[in-house]
Amino acid sequence: MKKSLFWLLVLLLSPVAVLVVITPMDSQKQYLFGLLSIGILFLMGFQ
C-alpha cells in the first residue's frame, strides 16, 4: 500500500518538476517551491 502510494505521488509530481525546470523563476518562487518540496518529502518520509 505504501509503495503504490509513493509511486502515485511520484507520477503526480513529475509534471510539476518538469514545469519548474522549464520555466525561469525569480527568487520568491524558488523559495516557495523549495519549502513546498521539503514539505512533500517530509510527508513522504512519514508514510
pLDDT in tens, 3-44: 887 788 878 777 777 777 777 777 777 788 888 888 887 877
Is it the case that residue 1 has pLDDT exceeding 70?
no
The residues, any chain, with a CB within 8 Å of residue 20's CB and separated by 6 or more, are 33
φ, ψ (nearest 5 deg) of residue 23 = -85, 135
In the chain, where does DSSP find H-type helix? 2-22, 27-46
Our count of domains for the chain comes to 1
Residue 38 has what pLDDT?
A: 83
Residue 36 has what pLDDT?
A: 82
Separation between Cα atoms, residue 35 and residue 23, nearest integer Å: 18
- Local confidence band at 47 (pLDDT 50, 70, 90 cut-offs): low
Tell me which residue range forms the domain holding 19.
Answer: 2-46
